[in-house]
Amino acid sequence: GEDVEQSLFLSVREGDSSVINCTYTDSSSTYLYWYKQEPGAGLQLLTYIFSNMDMKQDQRLTVLLNKKDKHLSLRIADTQTGDSAIYFCAEPSGGYQKVTFGTGTKLQVIP
């Protein structure tokens, strides 16, 4: 299958911005997604971006897409302790029957 790569760990101080990066491999993906997994829970869809967009902003979240480099990033402004979680990027596969997840980035927010 396709490999979607992320760095494993990110530590930031409360109030700073967090930037989580992702490299995907399927250039034909129409949408790209970000999920959040809080401790002891399943994944929840956080936001997504359509492939013809460069940027999408949703309150404290900003998604940036560089299709040429197949690079996706999630910026969290004013990071709070409640943002501590594992974040996964993902792309659809199998005609939208499936999703391929990245390796996940664990975000630690230091008070």
Binding site for another protein (CB under 8 A): 1, 4, 6, 8, 31, 33, 40-45, 48, 88, 90, 92, 94-99, 101-104
- Comparison of 82 and 96: residue with beta carbon closer to another protein: 96
- Comparison of 69 and 96: residue with beta carbon closer to another protein: 96
- Comparison of 1 and 82: residue with beta carbon closer to another protein: 1
Longest dimension (CA), the chain: 43
CA 111, CA 79: separation in Å to the nearest integer? 10
